[in-house]
Structure 1
Amino acid sequence: MIPQRLTAAELLDSAGLLAELLADVVAGGASLGFLVPLAHGEAAAWWRGLAPAVTEGGLAVWAVLDGDRCLGTVSLAFTDKPNGRHRAEVAKLMVHPAARGRGLARTLLTHLEDAAFDAGVRLLVLDTETDSPAEILYRTAGWTRAGVIPDYATDPTGTPHPTTLFYRRLEARDPVRTPQYRSAARYS
């Protein structure tokens, strides 16, 4: 499946599905800035609150929607600072527990990287819980570990954990990764 970039209207229309995904992922141990229990209404309100940033171009959100559920999502936060327009931050990469193990996280990440490059971004940054499955994904996807901050964020139960910072330069691209050369089969 190919990730779809959501407009602000589509984000609002999909807020319920995105909220279900967020609540499931948080309940499964990934905090993403939230604590358990995460109520569906709170999660939906959080997603709806992103619509203005999507409208203004400060945030891009991609989702893989499959009928009545969201299988995965990832966001890209652009900076509005004149000296930082070449960089952006990857945020909220999530895959539904039932869709894991099929390469969807890597598909979302690759799709985001390609879109970022097409938008003129040459440096991506992100943070993730140290020793989490996400950290393994980023390392194996070619991201560079910049360092670890102890007790940076808590898990969903409120227990502090270290966070690993990563970056990725988008200077050179393999033609196979360029959108016009991709096959749909690669993303299914």
Structure 2
Amino acid sequence: MSQQASTSVPGMRRLAAASEDQLQQLAELLIDCVEGGASVSFMQPLSRPKALAFWRRMAESAARGERVLLVAEDATGIVGTVQLVLEQPENQPHRADVAKMLVHRRARRRGWGEILMQAAEQAAREAGKTLLVLDTASGDAERLYVRCGWQRCGTIPGYALWPQGGPCDTTFFYRVLDG
């Protein structure tokens, strides 16, 4: 069964464990984003078994307390997700990484990205984190992060590949959290 803790934002949920149905929905979300051209560590075509294996590992990591797994849901199910990687090196206990902020193509431009980022920041505060970092394919979600108060700190050319192939520049951001 799925152990879940609600966040204070309607439509948001923190998954302490994920049900099989939730894993299937997360796999569909990841596949949709990769098919849509998002550079999120996977190449096209992304198979359902590979996507499910990824989400099983992430759910296990969340169950161990190494990360926070947040999902955004509407009437059709999971439409977005973001992770907060809490486990960091010994000399960085104040920091967390924001990872895999994904919004299904059918739900974009409806505010879910901003809601997910706010929920990740709140989860970080609750975990005692004061510094967040993330990276994104240059041009992908940069406007969202800037609008949410994140600071751009640089771009590395050809850091990753687009899912269909070809080099992808990556931009790094940070955010210092207030109390």
Structure 1 length normalisation: TM-score?
0.85
User: Which of 127, 142, 158 is the matching residue for 1:151?
Assistant: 158
Give the drift of 1:13: 4.4
User: Which of 166, 173, 186 is the matching residue for 2:173?
Assistant: 166
Tell me, in whole angstroms, the C-alpha distance in 2 between the residues paired with 1:68 and 1:19.
Answer: 15
User: What does residue 175 of structure 1 align with?
Assistant: none
Structure 1 runs of 4+ aligned residues shifted over 6 Å read none
Contact kept? 1:74, 1:108, Cα under 8 Å: yes
Tell me, in whole angstroms, the C-alpha distance in 2 between the residues paired with 1:69 and 1:41.
Answer: 20
User: What does residue 90 of structure 1 align with?
Assistant: 98
CA offsets, 1:4-63, max 9 Å, x none? Answer: 00012x255411000000000110010200011111121111101123311221111001
**Superposition pairs of residues 10-89 of structure 1, within 5 angstroms:** 10=18, 12-66=20-74, 69-89=77-97
User: What does residue 109 of structure 2 align with?
Assistant: 101
Give the drift of 1:69: 3.4
| Letter of the structure 2 residue corresponding to residue 23 of structure 1 | I
Aligned residue pairs total 170
Structure 2: gaps spanning 5 or more residues: 1-9
Contact kept? 1:12, 1:47, Cα under 8 Å: no
| Letter of the structure 2 residue corresponding to residue 17 of structure 1 | Q
How well do the aligned residues superpose, as a CA RMSD in angstroms? Answer: 1.5
Structure 1: gaps spanning 5 or more residues: 173-188
Give the drift of 1:131: 1.6
Give the drift of 1:79: 2.7
Higher percent of residues as helix: 1
User: What does residue 15 of structure 2 align with?
Assistant: 6
Give the drift of 1:68: 5.1
Tell me, in whole angstroms, the C-alpha distance in 2 between the residues paired with 1:60 and 1:159.
Answer: 31
Contact kept? 2:88, 2:96, Cα under 8 Å: no
Contact kept? 1:11, 1:48, Cα under 8 Å: no
Give the drift of 1:95: 0.7
User: What does residue 126 of structure 1 align with?
Assistant: 134
* Alpha-carbon spacing, 1:141–1:11, altered in 2? closer, same or farther (3 Å): farther
Three-state SS of the structure 2 residue aligned to 1:42 is helix
| Letter of the structure 2 residue corresponding to residue 156 of structure 1 | P
Tell me, in whole angstroms, the C-alpha distance in 2 between the residues paired with 1:100 and 1:80.
Answer: 31
Structure 2 length normalisation: TM-score?
0.89
